[in-house]
Chains A and B, each alone.
Chain A
Amino acid sequence: MAATAATAGRLLRLRAAGAEGHWRRLRGAGLPRGFLQPASADGDAAQRRQVAHFTFQPDPEPLEYGQTQKMNLFQAVTSALDNSLAKDPTAVIFGEDVAFGGVFRCTVGLRDKYGKDRVFNTPLCEQGIVGFGIGIAVTGATAIAEIQFADYIFPAFDQIVNEAAKYRYRSGDLFNCGSLTIRSPWGCVGHGALYHSQSPEAFFAHCPGIKVVIPRSPFQAKGLLLSCIEDKNPCIFFEPKILYRAAVEQVPIEPYNIPLSQAEVIQEGSDVTLVAWGTQVHVIREVASMAQEKLGVSCEVIDLRTIIPWDVDTVCKSVIKTGRLLVSHEAPLTGGFASEISSTVQEECFLNLEAPISRVCGYDTPFPHIFEPFYIPDKWKCYDALRKMINY
């Protein structure tokens, strides 16, 4: 039984090795000669699968939290979980396949270190996973639930929206499930298609009582995840899966917190405000460089970090300064979270605006497979929207 599980585990790990790993296998690494003709060296561009649409930009090594170590995003998550289980004896981690380390390796080593009663698999049932997590949290213990892909969070929607979010309010603060955190891989990954690419934050933004947090990098991920776990409200932590291996930077070994509901201005500017979260932050960072280089336009780049409750003040303060706002996310345009930001900013900063607020988002379609390069709000679409705003 253990042997089969281990083999299955190895297969799963291979499958989940991430965008570049998969790509390497498809390009013929390891196949016997003569079995398939390898793609020609200078390759028809149409035949070769695409490179990533962004370049991860690591932040400078943080100096104020002690010794750091090179970590990618999934290792930063493991580190945060390790710190949590070490500090808090009530903390447990559960979900599908977390015991062997998880399909994205976020929980590797934790079961061996902390025991089978603290890191364990559940049956394949998201409504059960979240419901179960709420129950643990109601008793005051710390529950860290994993939903294998954000695309599969919907069976748990009732438990999250009708139960977790409302627990404290409806009981008059007699009961709460604040010590619940739900983590889930999120966002496009190059080949995920309809059911491995979704960004469902907008569904949850409409739900008072929970917090929704999305990091852009390993350092951000660890600090924000620790804050979510320690926060006294139920939190959903979406992890950009395309960054799990691609994003590498120096991350403190010891625990540290990054505050929730605080956006970060990662680059100051004077002409346009660019807002995004998760992977898309790296896209708009590049757009900011392009704008400076090609148009002489100075961009202020903001990583929103917490979707709800969101940091209205930081965004408005920036727009009052620049007069122009561009918000970008992979999720579809209609009803996406950019709508909320846009609506609030036009209420608060109407007279400061020099141009209509621009939203550069996914199209109003399910997330396609082969058409992903056309679907995503890449740097060219963002650049073009920015250019139009400047010339308005």
Chain B
Amino acid sequence: MAVAAAAARVWGSSRGLGRVGLLLLRQPGARGLARSHPQRQQQHFSSLDDKPQFPGASAEFIDRLEFIQPNVISGIPIYRVMDRQGQIINPSEDPHLPQEKVLKFYKTMTLLNTMDRILYESQRQGRISFYMTNYGEEGTHVGSAAALDNTDLVFGQYREAGVLMYRNYPLELFMAQCYGNVSDLGKGRQMPVHYGCRERHFVTISSPLATQIPQAAVGAAYAAKRANANRVVICYFGEGAASEGDAHAGFNFAATLECPIIFFCRNNGYAISTPTSEQYRGDGIAARGPGYGILSIRVDGNDVFAVYNATKEARRRAVAENQPFLIEAMTYRIGHHSTSDDSSAYRSVDEVNYWDKQDHPISRLRHYLQSCGWWGDEQEKAWRKQSRKKVMEAFEQAERKLKPSPNLLFSDVYQEMPTQLRKQQESLARHLQTYGEHYPLDHFEK
């Protein structure tokens, strides 16, 4: 009984604290770190003579030896709005988004899917060096991106292209980065899918996992708070990256420093070949949030409305209350980890097919659209043709363009080029004058 009560205190805390949080709503724009966080003011001592005085915890004494049992059998419940057939379950949770917006959701997810197919294939044909698809996770990207303001800063991991696509990043620039051609904003320096866009507030992707969590996200969120920017920062990562030390650091800093940040975990079941049963033993990532003092929720990541609702509410409160939120979006990685991976080596085709056919964010939304009368087979056919054509055109153009000048190998290491580096740049130029025929100079700008 006491165990259940203790467990309820841990699991129930996310709900209970939510109400407390509402009651202790801060004025928007308040800069004060002067007040301690609402959550620390909860506990009221009874008038026992020997109440605990420890600075480290706000709790009562107990005279029975009991270990708190982590609850992984019935873990934190998964919030959803639509069933697997795209029907709204609880009408009061329907966000009632206008047709135009929902169509944008659908078109973004399907365009991403089409682009993924074509670019994956292009890697197989040796036209680009590497690619990562987003199959099955399109709902997590689009639902969350739609719930943010356009100026909210995004830090991703590498499987969030749909966020950028929702913000209207053109196909030409996706392709330019993958091909590393002259149009690439990143100047050809990184592997494919390491997108970045200052204009659309999407910080450039880097390969090391979870580094974006403390860094980018928590520091940037703190600065946004100080600047009274009324902006939230969202930070995406997978359930595997959540094992990194940087994730722990980021969560703890966000909570102690009271940062307006949404931590968005895409729990897609696998980190390359490592299933979640080998990644963690607790109740996923959502259960870690309360350990840091962070309001947390678990959602059905394949339900674009559930993702939307959770992100929308988290954003509203993060900015208003200057505290972090953790959203764990449960989903499934239908594709391989990357073009360097063949997932049939570690999972069954049946498992993959289940998700592809029975619980896909795109089909669920399509069913919803159809039942609203906003989409039909004719439109589906026309859109498939149109989106494929758009992608193919961008793809062909990207392939024809030159790569950037080799001089760009040397710039941007520092804001100004150091003397020694300039000498190295000159030495390469001289080398190419003599040995240029052995280098693919024809494909590069001068």
Residues of A in contact with B (beta carbons under 8 Å apart): 1, 4, 90, 92, 116-118, 120, 122-123, 125, 127-128, 130-141, 143, 155, 158-159, 162-163, 166-176, 178, 208-209, 211, 232-233, 261, 309, 312-313
A122 adjacent to B219 (CB under 8 Å): no
B219 adjacent to A125 (CB under 8 Å): no
B215 adjacent to A173 (CB under 8 Å): no
Question: Total interface residues on B, using CB and 8 Å?
Answer: 55
A208 adjacent to B189 (CB under 8 Å): no
A169 adjacent to B219 (CB under 8 Å): no
In the complex, which residue of chain A has the Cβ closest to the Cβ of B245? Answer: A127
Known: A90-B223, A122-B257, A127-B246. A134 touches B419 (CB 8 A): no
Interface residues of B in 161-194 (CB under 8 A from A): 184-190, 194
Q: Within the assembled complex, what's the spacing in Å between the Cα atoms of A49 and B33?
A: 46
Q: Within the assembled complex, what's the spacing in Å between the Cα atoms of A88 and B190?
A: 34
Asked if B136 is at the interface of the complex by the 8 Å CB criterion, the answer is: no
> When A and B form their complex, what is the total count of cross-chain residue pairs whose Cβ atoms lie within 8 Å?
170
Of the residues B198, B256, B416, contact of A123 by C-beta under 8 Å: B256
Interface-central residue, B184, B187, B245, B249, by most chain A CB under 10 Å: B249
B211 adjacent to A163 (CB under 8 Å): yes
Chain B window 215-245, contacts with chain A (Cβ cutoff 8 Å), 1 for yes, 0 for no:
1111111111011000000000000000001
Q: Within the assembled complex, what's the spacing in Å between the Cα atoms of A92 and B186?
A: 29
- Shortest CB-to-CB span from B350 to chain A, Å, is 39
Of the residues A116, A176, A211, contact of B33 by C-beta under 8 Å: A116
In the complex, which residue of chain B has the Cβ closest to the Cβ of A155? Answer: B245
- Shortest CB-to-CB span from B351 to chain A, Å, is 34
In the complex, which residue of chain B has the Cβ closest to the Cβ of A210? Answer: B414
In the complex, which residue of chain B has the Cβ closest to the Cβ of A137? Answer: B219
Q: Within the assembled complex, what's the spacing in Å between the Cα atoms of A294 and B252?
A: 60
B196 adjacent to A128 (CB under 8 Å): no
In the complex, which residue of chain B has the Cβ closest to the Cβ of A117? Answer: B33
B211 adjacent to A123 (CB under 8 Å): no
Asked if B391 is at the interface of the complex by the 8 Å CB criterion, the answer is: no
List 22 A-B pairs, Cβ < 8 Å: A92-B226, A117-B33, A123-B253, A123-B256, A125-B253, A127-B214, A127-B245, A128-B250, A130-B215, A131-B213, A131-B214, A132-B215, A133-B219, A135-B215, A138-B220, A139-B227, A158-B211, A162-B206, A163-B211, A170-B204, A232-B416, A233-B414
Chain B window 388-413, contacts with chain A (Cβ cutoff 8 Å), 1 for yes, 0 for no:
00000000000000000000000111
Q: Within the assembled complex, what's the spacing in Å between the Cα atoms of A305 and B216?
A: 30
Q: Which residues of B contact A140 (CB under 8 A)?
A: 223
A138 adjacent to B219 (CB under 8 Å): yes
Q: Which residues of A contact B248 (CB under 8 A)?
A: 125
Known: A168-B412, A172-B189, A309-B414. A135 touches B219 (CB 8 A): yes
Q: Which residues of B contact A175 (CB under 8 A)?
A: 196, 198, 203-204
Q: Within the assembled complex, what's the spacing in Å between the Cα atoms of A176 and B196?
A: 12
Q: Within the assembled complex, what's the spacing in Å between the Cα atoms of A170 and B185?
A: 10
Known: A158-B208, A159-B211. A168 touches B420 (CB 8 A): no
In the complex, which residue of chain A has the Cβ closest to the Cβ of B261? Answer: A135
- Shortest CB-to-CB span from A312 to chain B, Å, is 6
Interface-central residue, A118, A130, A313, by most chain B CB under 10 Å: A130
Asked if B153 is at the interface of the complex by the 8 Å CB criterion, the answer is: yes
- Shortest CB-to-CB span from B442 to chain A, Å, is 23
Q: Which residues of A contact B419 (CB under 8 A)?
A: 309, 312-313
Asked if B197 is at the interface of the complex by the 8 Å CB criterion, the answer is: yes
B153 adjacent to A174 (CB under 8 Å): no
Q: Which residues of A contact B77 (CB under 8 A)?
A: none
B221 adjacent to A135 (CB under 8 Å): yes
Known: A138-B219, A171-B186, A175-B204. A116 touches B412 (CB 8 A): no
Known: A122-B256, A128-B249, A163-B208. A170 touches B418 (CB 8 A): no
In the complex, which residue of chain B has the Cβ closest to the Cβ of A233? Answer: B414
Known: A117-B31, A136-B222, A174-B196. A131 touches B215 (CB 8 A): yes
Q: Which residues of B contact A118 (CB under 8 A)?
A: 226
- Shortest CB-to-CB span from B243 to chain A, Å, is 14
Q: Which residues of A contact B187 (CB under 8 A)?
A: 172-173
